[in-house]
A and B are shown apart, each in its own frame.
Chain A
Amino acid sequence: DTEVTQTPKHLVMGMTNKKSLKCEQHMGHRAMYWYKQKAKKPPELMFVYSYEKLSINESVPSRFSPECPNSSLLNLHLHALQPEDSALYLCASSQLGLPNEKLFFGSGTQLSVL
């Protein structure tokens, strides 16, 4: 199994809602990443987990809260989002988090905030 699975594929939420994005991989990878991508723009790194510990937080607003319950699962909890947070949210994983490694990406969650 060489896939990174993200759910849901699409999500529409109001600014007062609380929702979560889920990412799962069963490749035994120990590094997992959240990226945000606006249309026709490159992905922007949000968070990196290495061995289930948060190793990078790119000054992301606190309305985004990541969680890594185990080595296979990565969540992104959303609360009180703004319309400008509408974007494609991509999850990725890599074997050990080494800089020469291939990142395996999921197909993303397309988020719309109304």
Chain B
Amino acid sequence: AQTVTQSQPEMSVQEAETVTLSCTYDTSESDYYLFWYKQPPSRQMILVIRQEAYKQQNATENRFSVNFQKAAKSFSLKISDSQLGDAAMYFCAYRPPTGANSKLTFGKGITLSVRP
């Protein structure tokens, strides 16, 4: 079974600084998809970024980028120029490549606070 591990329950970053959130996963699949979702106090889960395992290039979305290390099964999220609105719970997630019946497996999440 696939597992997703986020070992840091909480992190804090100064506004305008850079922070990296860690995630590791375990799978026997060679092809799969990885995601970071953000859940602010409004509770609505929002996709931050996604990565296809067959792509070697790390995904980037504006201030958000990932460091995808397939051999190490590591998928960390870097947030640059942190803003107050980045304060939220962040979930790393894994999904295998088998269509609608493939489950999205979430890590336990990390609470990020941003200091003004």
Does B104 lie within 8 Å of A45, measured CB to CB? yes
Query: Cα distance A50–B99 when bound, in Å?
Result: 10
Output the least CB separation between A61 and chain B (Å): 19
Query: Cα distance A88–B45 when bound, in Å?
Result: 12
If A48-B100, A97-B99 touch, whether A42 touches B108 (CB-CB below 8 Å) is: yes
Binding stretch for chain B, among A20-28, A62-70, A72-80, A99-107: A99-107
In-complex Cβ contact of A55 among B44, B45, B95, B101 (8 A): B101
Most buried by A among B33, B37, B89, B100: B100
The 0/1 profile, CB within 8 Å of A marked 1, for residues 78-113 of chain B is 000000000001010001111111111011110100
Report A-chain residues with C-beta under 8 Å of the C-beta of B33.
99-100
If A42-B91, A42-B107, A42-B109 touch, whether A99 touches B99 (CB-CB below 8 Å) is: yes
Most buried by A among B45, B91, B102, B108: B45
The 0/1 profile, CB within 8 Å of B marked 1, for residues 11-40 of chain A is 000000000000000000001000000001
- Chain B, Cβ-Cβ closest to A6: B44
Query: Cα distance A108–B44 when bound, in Å?
Result: 7
Does A107 lie within 8 Å of B43, measured CB to CB? yes
Report B-chain residues with C-beta under 8 Å of the C-beta of A106.
44
In-complex Cβ contact of B98 among A41, A96, A99 (8 A): A99
Binding stretch for chain A, among B19-27, B46-54, B63-71: B46-54
Q: Does A81 contact B (CB under 8 A)?
A: no
